[in-house]
Chain A
Amino acid sequence: MNHLTTREILQYVDGTILNGERTSVVSHLEVCPRCGKEVEFQRALGRIARQAALEAAPEQLKGRVMERVAPGKQHLWFQKIIDNLGSLFAMIIVLGIFGYALLTPTAWKSTDQPTVITNVLKTYSDLYGQAKQYLKTESTKLQSTGTPSSWTGSNRLIALTLLSLVILIAIDGLVLRKITKLRL
């Protein structure tokens, strides 16, 4: 006796067998216990596969998705702080330097034991000096007149603050934002 093929058995189990084939398959099943057993076996496999427990998605999934597609109001203040962490950090440093320079007259004087802050200021000052020198050279080339003859302490302070801002914005954009993004 020729047994039913895999396709005939599976299509019969799924109820997708063509009408023309159905009659012969049913007739065969009436007389063939092996194929009948196969049909029952496949039905049982399908039933268990359908009833098998679903894999649970992580609890935090919904929160993470919603945070990306529709941030809730309750998280806005927190999100803003995180987003601007780099800028806040930069602002604190700049204000710190500015405040230190204003409140400590000796900050600009050289001492025998330089502090970290005076070292940082000195580095900025050097960078600023180089920039100034470059501009001066360029302006001479262009035969322009009226270059500042001297730089007062307040001018230097403003220039240093601006230079600090540029450097810190660069640090913020290139380093801190990337780090905070990675953590999020």
Chain B
Amino acid sequence: MAKPDEEIVRRILAGEKRAFGELVDRHKDKAMTLALRMLKNREDAEEALQDAFVRAFHALPRFEWKASFSTWFYRIVYNVCATTLSKKEEGIHIPLDEEDEQTLELPSEGAPPDVEFASNEFQQTVMEEVQKMPQLYGAIFTLFFVQDMSYEQIVEVTGLPLGTVKVRLFRARTMLRSAVTKRLGMKKEITV
């Protein structure tokens, strides 16, 4: 059984600095996925990730044991990426109605297309559309589905209010649904 992250943190704080490599191995790919969804550029994501790991190492003495290491660490990754975005003046501009919870009370748009969920075409389309998702929606979507975090954990990571997290996640999922439906629907029309 794998050792919990917190046990490795204890070893590092006791002076075994090289144990930090185990944490890097465990979290690098998931953190890379989050950074890439936010920054949309591999070079920036790699730099942000390296910076986040180094910051996390130096901040370990201030680690709050009440939170899990992963939640605490992904907050650092999220903040580093958000800072990179703001430096590049690529802050996310979300139209006001996007944050409106009322829009989620509307019935879903039309029936979904008839597709074989197990088909390569469907899976490929979904993955491509996930990668295209706008930055901050992509971040919350990744935290929920890839990092398997709850709404409350996402609130801890992003510092956003619970209502905003829920709306953005729902919005991300409806965007994905629309994009996939549109692409698959269009292909069907072309083949017909």
Of residues 141 to 192 in B, which have CB atoms within 8 Å of A's CB atoms? 141, 145-146, 148, 151, 170, 173-174, 176-177, 180
Cβ-defined partner of B117 (8 Å) among A6, A44, A68? A44
Q: Are A66 and B20 in contact (CB under 8 A)?
A: yes
Cβ-defined partner of A48 (8 Å) among B53, B126, B148, B174? B126
Q: Are B107 and A2 in contact (CB under 8 A)?
A: yes
Q: Whole-angstrom distance from the CB of B45 to the nearest CB of chain A?
A: 8
Q: Are B111 and A6 in contact (CB under 8 A)?
A: no
A46 and B180 alpha carbons, distance in the complex (Å): 13
Q: Are A5 and B20 in contact (CB under 8 A)?
A: no
Q: Whole-angstrom distance from the CB of B24 to the nearest CB of chain A?
A: 5
Q: Is A103 an interface residue (CB 8 A)?
A: no
Q: Whole-angstrom distance from the CB of A58 to the nearest CB of chain B?
A: 6
Q: Is A182 an interface residue (CB 8 A)?
A: no
Cβ contacts under 8 Å, A184 to chain B: none
Q: Are B24 and A62 in contact (CB under 8 A)?
A: yes
A48 and B141 alpha carbons, distance in the complex (Å): 12
Identify the B interface with A (CB < 8 A). Answer: 17-18, 20-21, 24-25, 28-33, 36, 45-46, 49-50, 53-54, 57-58, 104-108, 111-112, 117, 122-123, 126-127, 130, 141, 145-146, 148, 151, 170, 173-174, 176-177, 180
- Knowing A6-B106, A6-B170, say if A52 contacts B177 (CB, 8 Å): no
Q: Are A45 and B170 in contact (CB under 8 A)?
A: no
Q: Are B54 and A62 in contact (CB under 8 A)?
A: no
Of residues 6 to 22 in A, which have CB atoms within 8 Å of B's CB atoms? 6-7, 9-10, 16
Most buried by A among B24, B57, B123: B24
Q: Are A4 and B108 in contact (CB under 8 A)?
A: yes
Of residues 66 to 88 in A, which have CB atoms within 8 Å of B's CB atoms? 66, 68-70, 72
Q: Are B46 and A58 in contact (CB under 8 A)?
A: yes
**Across the A-B interface, the 4 shortest Cβ-Cβ residue pairs:** A70-B17, A57-B28, A41-B112, A44-B117
Identify the A interface with B (CB < 8 A). Answer: 2-7, 9-10, 16, 34-35, 37-38, 40-42, 44-50, 52-58, 61-62, 64-66, 68-70, 72
- Knowing A66-B20, A69-B17, say if A48 contacts B108 (CB, 8 Å): no
What would 12 A/B residue contacts be, using CB atoms closer than 8 Å?
A6-B107, A6-B170, A37-B111, A38-B111, A49-B146, A54-B30, A54-B33, A57-B29, A65-B20, A65-B21, A69-B53, A70-B20
